[in-house]
Chains A and B, each alone.
Chain A
Amino acid sequence: MAVKKDYKDQKLAEKLRDRKYYVPDSNPEFIKDVEKIGQTAAHMCYQCGTCTGSCPSAPRSSYRIRLFMRKAVLGLEEEALTDPDLWLCTTCYSCTDRCPRNLAPTDAIMAMRNLAFKRDIIPRNFLQTVQLIYKSGHGVPNNDANRAARKKLGLEEEPETTHKYPEYLPGIRRILDHYRLKENADRILAEGE
């Protein structure tokens, strides 16, 4: 456990906060969860940095995929899941392609995002996509301007998807409801208002 200092001045307390790594602070289950969801042996990371060196997000942010791998190995769950950098991976898979340990850091990141969502940590745009799909079957649904354009092209106004066949929507909703995804999305979005 970190040393308790009880400085009254909040700013000072933050500045002089104990930043050591304490083993009891780590969650040994975290790496197992990441490996199970991400289906990659993340604990085999040897921190060469090939991933960060390949990352299009790293040069323009503080996002370091290598550090996320490190935090996974050390069980620093809290630190990893609450870091907003987690959401800067564009999932380009360059790191996965080049990883000399044959790991999939991208999938480890996806696993951590899944775990973050379980704690209601998730950017709003992701949830809005869920709502759109629940409503129409599409993450980017049709609109009037597009309908007009489609007509001009000789296509039907609605594509041969759930747009034209809304009878397929209940099945999709059933799947989403099975995982209570819509419910959670609505709730988290409402709480964020």
Chain B
Amino acid sequence: MSGNNHQYAFFLGCIAPNRYPGIEAAAIQTSKNVGIDLLPLKGASCCPAPGAFGSIDLNVWYAMAARNVVLAEQMGMDIALVCNGCYKSIWEVNHKLKHNDELRDGVNEVLKEIDMEFKGTADVWHLAELYYDPKVVGVKKLAESVKRPLTGAKVAVHYGCHLMKPSKERHFGDTENPMWMEELVAALGAEPVQYRNKMQCCGAGGGVRGFDIAHALDITNEKLINMEEVGIDAVTEVCPFCQLQFDRGQIEIKEKFGVEHGVPVLHYNELLGLAQGMSPDELALDLHAISVEPFLKKIL
């Protein structure tokens, strides 16, 4: 059945498999439904976290990320992933090493110690961009896979930073007011809404969540207020780390600032899973810190 499917090595990262396993399950199932096979990338590690490792020593960041790319090179496959942070590490390091001989030689010197070599034969993709790309899936095919349209749900889109920025190196175009994820959401029958300062950061990146959580949460809180201002049923994103910040962050915001939001937060793959008819249990939505129930009531 999957003979004609696109095949990718599936890079899991940390938070998706270890905190929101529903994203992992959803990604595999929903992708299969639109013609993408995600194969296990055995022995992959943390991407590693771009904020933490990039801040400590960029050389380690390059080498560790390169190791993950090499695993895919050895499989002879491109990488697909579901997390913006992973995208920043894996895509960017892959890109940099392909275009900077000095950097690549330095990394390969280290990788030699573990009998690996970065060759530059693999490409890296975020699943969301593959869904949008008509050469792979495309909005039309995505819409055709929907069995249970999310009609009536108003969804705010959070793009996250590390997927599209810095735009000078990336290929996504306008980062001030992009609309392609809105198209992905609309394909599922939901109504994407526009809100103030859509492209603002979730606040968690760069190690700030660990360094000064109140600071990070204040940014998250501002963003949630902007979203609620226009009336929404859920937030969707394509980054488990942003999800963690918006989802668990709401609990922390309540603890720290006494502000209550109660906005359900769903990874796009979870949203896609629901639209394709997966049950909340198949998506482990009960693991979310903020109950998804109100959103489910709206669409089921």
Binding site for B on A (CB under 8 A): 37, 56-57, 60-61, 87-94, 96-97, 102, 104, 106, 110-111, 113-114, 117, 122-123, 125-130, 133, 137-143, 146, 149-150, 152-155, 159-165, 167-168, 170-172, 174-176, 178-179, 181
Residues of A within 8 A of B50 (CB): 91
Q: Does B187 contact A (CB under 8 A)?
A: no
Instruction: Report Cα–Cα, A129/B18, bound state, in Å.
Output: 15
Instruction: Report Cα–Cα, A150/B18, bound state, in Å.
Output: 9
* A146 lies within 8 A of B165 (CB): no
Residues of B within 8 A of A37 (CB): 58
- Out of B41, B111, B207, B284, which one reaches A126, CB within 8 Å? B207
Interface of A is mostly: helix
Instruction: Report Cα–Cα, A129/B241, bound state, in Å.
Output: 14
* A57 lies within 8 A of B12 (CB): no
* B110 lies within 8 A of A161 (CB): no
* A140 lies within 8 A of B18 (CB): yes
Residues of A within 8 A of B64 (CB): 133, 172, 175-176
Q: Does B192 contact A (CB under 8 A)?
A: no
Residues of A within 8 A of B52 (CB): 125-126, 129-130, 139
Min Cβ gap A136→B in Å is 9
Given contacts A87-B207, A172-B67, 10 further A-B contacts (CB under 8 A): A56-B200, A90-B216, A102-B168, A161-B41, A161-B43, A161-B45, A168-B45, A170-B114, A175-B63, A175-B67
Q: Does B277 contact A (CB under 8 A)?
A: no
Pick out which of these stretches binds chain A: B19-27, B228-236, B254-262. B19-27
* B12 lies within 8 A of A161 (CB): yes
Residues of B within 8 A of A160 (CB): 10, 12, 40-42, 44
Instruction: Report Cα–Cα, A150/B19, bound state, in Å.
Output: 10
Contacts A92-B205, A93-B166, A125-B207; A114 near B41 (Cβ below 8 A): no
Q: Does B289 contact A (CB under 8 A)?
A: no
Instruction: Report Cα–Cα, A77/B234, bound state, in Å.
Output: 45
Residues of A within 8 A of B284 (CB): 149, 152-153
Q: Does B54 contact A (CB under 8 A)?
A: yes
Interface string of B263-300 (1 = CB under 8 A from A): 00000000000000000011010010000000000000
Residues of B within 8 A of A159 (CB): 12, 17-18, 21, 24
Instruction: Report Cα–Cα, A161/B203, bound state, in Å.
Output: 28
Residues of B within 8 A of A141 (CB): 14, 18
Residues of B within 8 A of A146 (CB): 18-19, 21, 287
* B210 lies within 8 A of A126 (CB): yes
Instruction: Report Cα–Cα, A97/B163, bound state, in Å.
Output: 13
CB-defined A-B contacts under 8 Å, sample of 15: A57-B219, A90-B204, A91-B161, A97-B175, A110-B54, A129-B210, A133-B45, A139-B46, A146-B18, A150-B21, A153-B284, A159-B18, A160-B12, A172-B45, A176-B60
Which residues between 35 and 80 of chain B lie within 8 Å of chain A, taking CB atoms?
40-46, 48-60, 63-64, 67
